[in-house]
Structure 1
Amino acid sequence: MSSRFRKLSHTIWHCQYHIVWVPKYRFRILRGAVKSAVESGIQSICGYSGCEVVELNVQPDHVHLVVLVPPKKSISELLGRLKGQISMKIFQQFRELRKKPYWGNHFWAKGYCVDTVGLDADMIRRYVRYQEEKERQLEQLQLVD
């Protein structure tokens, strides 16, 4: 078993996701102290949620997050928590943003993009072929007995 896998009581897993989301109206606001607040918020919320940040890149108008998420966690729940709690933190910390009429109470745009970061397809095919070969060898051994 490779170290890339994580363990739960009855599960061995490697669920890695690439998630991208943007501020409302895709404003280029994720700079300086706002950027730092977003980064620290993502790190702490993911850690608290039992998720592991693999890569994090906060650009002025979007966030890229590659994260390991246990199979018992929902991606929509994680993103709801990230976007909701970070939004509240940003509006508390940077009160001047709340005064802008276009924000309302929403810092982030609705929705997000998520993609799985999985094993290489060739690697999976080789693994399946290997398992099939191992199964045949076992069957032949059982016939000999």
Structure 2
Amino acid sequence: MRYSKSAHTRFYHRYHVLWATKYRYKILQGPMRDRIREIIIQTCSELGVHIVKGVLARDHVHMFLSIPPKHSLSNVLQRIKGRSSRRIQMEFPELRKRYWGRRFWARGYFSTTSGNVTDDVIKQYLELHSDK
């Protein structure tokens, strides 16, 4: 396991996140798919978020992200989803007329964390290092 670092911290924060298009419309294809990929990469780069792995399906996005501790997962996803939704709707105006109004992504997201340390291992570690 390789830890990331910033000025005063070392961390290993990995999140598996998933979010979908509104109504699970299968429209993530062609030039729109490429543009969404570019926007997500650019947004993550600006935030200092490392994309470990990412997959765009036709109606949802899976990402495995390393997020620095100064950012919360909800704020990172708010920026990614908000920025990509706005730009895609500006660049592909036919979406508004054909599919829906102002939202491109469905509300919310799924997330889970990844790590090699279980709750039991942490409890054992703390018990061994407590003052007796």
TM band (smaller chain): 0.7 to 0.9
- The Cα of 1:125 is off from its aligned counterpart by 3.5
Q: Which runs of 4+ in 1 moved over 6 A?
A: none
Superposed CA offset, 1:11-59 (max 9, x none): 1101010000000000001111111111111111001001000001000
Match of 2:106 among 101, 105, 109: 109
Q: Percent of counterpart pairs with the same letter?
A: 38
**1:1-145, aligned counterparts within 5 Å?**
4-100=2-98, 102-119=99-116, 121=118, 125=121, 132=128
Supply the distance in 1 between the matched residues of 2:106 and 2:85 (Cα, whole angstroms): 11
Supply the distance in 1 between the matched residues of 2:19 and 2:32 (Cα, whole angstroms): 15
Supply the distance in 2 between the matched residues of 1:42 and 1:66 (Cα, whole angstroms): 13
Supply the distance in 1 between the matched residues of 2:6 and 2:80 (Cα, whole angstroms): 23
- The Cα of 1:120 is off from its aligned counterpart by 5.1
TM-score, structure 2 normalization: 0.87
> Number of aligned pairs?
130
Q: Unpaired segments of 5 or more residues in structure 2?
A: none
SS of match in other structure, 1:99: helix
SS of match in other structure, 1:103: coil
Task: Choose between structure 1 and 2: higher helix proportion.
Answer: 1
TM-score, structure 1 normalization: 0.80
SS of match in other structure, 2:87: helix
If asked which structure has higher relative contact order (CA below 8 Å, sep 6+), I would say 2
Q: Unpaired segments of 5 or more residues in structure 1?
A: 136-145
